[in-house]
Amino acid sequence: MPSPQLPPDPETIRRTAAEILQGSDFRIDQDTRVGDTIVDIMTQIIKWIVLPFRWLFDAMDGLPNGVWWLIVIVLAILLAILVGHILYTLLTILSPSVRKSKLSSAFSSKKPLTADQFEQLAHEAFAQNEYIVAVRFLFRASLVHLQSLEGRLFSPGLTNRHYLRRYRNSPFVKSLQSFVDIIDTAWYGNGVCREAEYLKCREAYAEIKRQTKEVVHADNA
């Protein structure tokens, strides 16, 4: 029959407990954050910005007060420009979502827009590299010119192909075909609308705009 094991002596227990408490699982003062927080990053950036200024101030020790203040003012202006540029960059990054919501809401707006307004929206979309959106705005502007020519509003339920059939025997059909093909491919389909396609539609829009004005002038002659 085996003899019963004796418990460890008190010194062994204290030593073992101390080793356990010093382990990583019991370090209550340990920073358990994963990665750097935004505050840490901003603090580090500020330190990097301040460091050369601190070195420069130390180097300016002994300069006349006038020169010292002149340098400080120039550096303050440069720092303000730097901060302004950083803020502008952040706003530029964050603002596209606001601009895109403005562009998307224009399609569902119940208030009729003029051709010039659609042109402006197309210009804004093009500036954001939203080429297919810009093409759709130019197509809407083209329809506004055609509506003015006919003297009445088109039904909102008409499809793009309907406009092709409607104007198949008119001088507008070729330009409308350019719009419809690109919209069907890049908006309703899986195609891609690049800058070249947008420029093609812009030429088509300019042609429709010119042709409608010629018809109006001929009728008024």
Give the pLDDT of residue 210.
92
Ranked by mean pLDDT, which of 66-70, 85-89, 92-96, 129-133 comes out on top?
129-133
Total-model pTM: 0.53
Average pLDDT of 188-200?
Answer: 91
Q: What value does the mean pLDDT of the chain take?
A: 77
**Span of 5-9, 84-88, 110-114, 169-173 with lowest mean pLDDT:** 5-9
Residue owning tokens 């419809």: 180
Give the DSSP letter of residue 24: G
Residue that wins the pLDDT comparison between 199 and 113: 199
* More confident of the two residues 58 and 209: 209
pLDDT band at 150 (very low <50, low <70, confident <90, very high): confident
Question: In the predicted model, is pLDDT for residue 134 greater than 70?
Answer: yes
How many angstroms separate the Cα of 18 from the Cα of each of 14, 24, 27, 28, 221?
6, 12, 12, 14, 104
Residue 199: the pLDDT is 95
> 119-157 burial, b if ≥16 CB within 10 A, otherwise e?
bebbebbbeeebbbbbbbbbbbbbbbbbeebeeeeeeee
Triad 98, 100, 102: Cα angle to 5°: 75
Amino acid at 101: S
Alpha-carbon distance 66 to 196, whole Å? 58
CA angle 183, 189, 195 (to 5 degrees): 50
* Res 38: pLDDT: 61
